[in-house]
């Protein structure tokens, strides 16, 4: 168990976009007690704190002043099993997909559709990660945190996390105020599958319910065919959120584009894929400096050739502007600009 501190430390290996920026101070810790010690030490210095996970949803725009923290709290603990469900408590520093792999191995259902999403368990609860019809908020029972200002522990119930589309209280009212140290998941020990989405429908069968492992493997195979591997091509996944618009806005759009894809959110709101809007504006595969729009999925901006933060910021800005001009729809980044 230890706390490590590095100064003027390169974050190149700590962000999937591959931005080569430095942290003034970079601290890792292995336990909650160590985190509390670290926070006590920083408190009063006036230094800014940024907690990162795997850096797979961050765009570092410049060197980071202050302290960058990174959790190494790594454990998976099995709790009570009741009514077909099991509670699993997981340290914030566990790699998200290692957790998914372990759950699939045990044949516990709930996380398999979220397999292969980059990042760590702590951030999953902040981001409310989602894929193939499942959001992590639907399997979270509780999020354990430490308050930055006081060093006091606080557990948030699922309701208190206020989960929404790629959203939570930790991204809004309480942004930067709490550090996630562990997440308690509620998984199903009996088959509970979500196979409505695209190619996963092929796993539906009248007689056999696929195992969590089978679904995991299908998800990984789909993701590998569509998404860039962070080790090979830098990105932060979907760069923009899918805009949710008033029904009237969608209806007007559909008059000009009969084939506009859409998902009904409720009676008044419709979600439109940002990828479609971006593709209609002709951005697919286009480059700007070292940055580019991924050819297979225009929602993803990639670091094609030594992109600088400015390349990516400018490209994102031009895309937003052209979507606004063509469709009068604002799209917002899902990625956190730092």
Q: Which residues are catalytic?
A: 166, 238, 334
CB 302 within 8 A of CB 291: yes
Q: Are strands 49-52 and 64-71 parallel, antiparallel or unpaired?
A: parallel
Are the C-beta atoms of residues 327 and 245 closer than 8 Å to each other? Answer: no
Among residues 210 and 230, whose Cβ is nearest to ligand FAD? 230
Beta carbon nearer to ligand FAD, 53 or 333: 53
Q: Shortest distance, CB of residue 172 to ligand FAD, whole angstroms?
A: 11
Contacts of 296 (CB under 8 A, 6+ apart): 226, 227
Distance CA 155, CA 32 (A): 13
Site residues (CB under 6 A) for ligand FAD? Answer: 16, 50-58, 71, 92, 117-120, 122-124, 126-127, 129-131, 166, 179-180, 227-228, 230, 235-237, 336
Helix axes 212-226, 96-106, angle to 10 degrees: 150
- Cβ at position 267, least distance to ligand FAD in Å: 26
- Strand pairing partners for 263? 271
| Nearest residue (CB) to ligand FAD, 130 versus 309 | 130
Structural contact between residues 103 and 121, judged by C-beta atoms closer than 8 angstroms: no
- Inter-CA distances, 272 with 70, 185, 267, 284, Å: 35, 30, 15, 17
* Closer residue to ligand FAD (CB): 179 or 315: 179
Q: How far is CA 159 from the centre of its chain?
A: 19
Q: Which residue is nearest to ligand FAD (CB)?
A: 53
Contact indicator for 284, 277 with CB cutoff of 8 Å: no
Nearer to ligand FAD, 231 or 267 (CB): 231
Cβ 256 to ligand FAD shortest distance, Å: 30
Q: Judge contact between 291 and 304, C-beta under 8 A.
A: yes
CB of residue 108 to ligand FAD, shortest distance in Å? 20
The strand pair at 64-71 and 22-29 is best described as parallel
Minimum Å distance from CB 209 to ligand FAD? 24
Give backbone dihedrals phi and psi of 285, rounded to 5 degrees, phi first.
80, -5
Residue 82 beta carbon to ligand FAD: minimum distance, rounded to whole angstroms: 28
253 versus 299: smaller Cβ distance to ligand FAD: 299
Q: How far apart (Å, rounded) are the C-alpha atoms in residues 154 and 145?
A: 5
Cα(110)–Cα(108) distance, integer angstroms: 7
Helix (H, G, I), strand (E, B) or coil at 273: coil
């Amino acid at each position: 168990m230890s706390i490590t501190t590095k100064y003027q430390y390169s974050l190149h290996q700590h962000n999937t976009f591959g931005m080569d920026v430095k942290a003034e101070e970079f601290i890792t810790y292995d336990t909650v007690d160590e985190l509390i010690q670290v926070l006590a030490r920083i408190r009063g210095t006036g230094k800014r704190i940024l907690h990162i996970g795997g850096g797979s949803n961050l765009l570092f725009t410049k060197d980071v002043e202050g302290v960058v923290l990174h959790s190494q709290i790594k454990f998976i603990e099995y709790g009570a099993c009741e009514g077909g469900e099991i509670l699993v408590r997981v340290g914030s520093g566990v790699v998200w997909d290692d957790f998914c792999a372990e759950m699939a191995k045990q044949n516990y259902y709930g996380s398999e559709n979220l397999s292969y999403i980059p990042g760590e368990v702590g951030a999953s609860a902040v981001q409310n990660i989602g894929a193939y019809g499942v959001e992590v908020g639907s399997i979270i029972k509780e999020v354990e945190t430490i308050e930055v200002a006081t060093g006091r522990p606080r557990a948030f119930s699922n309701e208190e996390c206020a989960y929404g589309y790629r959203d939570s209280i930790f991204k809004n009212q309480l942004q930067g105020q709490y550090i996630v140290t562990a997440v308690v998941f509620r998984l199903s020990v009996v088959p509970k599958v979500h196979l409505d989405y695209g190619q996963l429908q092929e796993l539906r069968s009248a007689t056999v319910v696929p195992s969590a492992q089978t679904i995991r493997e299908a998800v990984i195979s789909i993701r590998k065919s569509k998404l860039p591997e962070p080790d090979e091509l830098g990105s932060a996944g979907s760069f923009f959120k899918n805009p949710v618009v008033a029904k009237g806005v969608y209806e007007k759009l559909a008059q000009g584009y009969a084939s506009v894809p859409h998902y009904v959110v409720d009676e008044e709101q419709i979600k439109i894929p940002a990828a479609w809007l971006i593709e209609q504006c002709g951005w697919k595969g286009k480059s700007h400096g070292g940055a580019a729009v991924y050819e297979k999925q225009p929602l993803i901006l990639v670091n094609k050739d030594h992109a600088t933060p400015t390349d990516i910021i400018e490209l994102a800005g031009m895309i937003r502007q052209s979507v606004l001009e063509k469709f009068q729809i604002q799209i917002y980044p899902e990625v956190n600009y730092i």
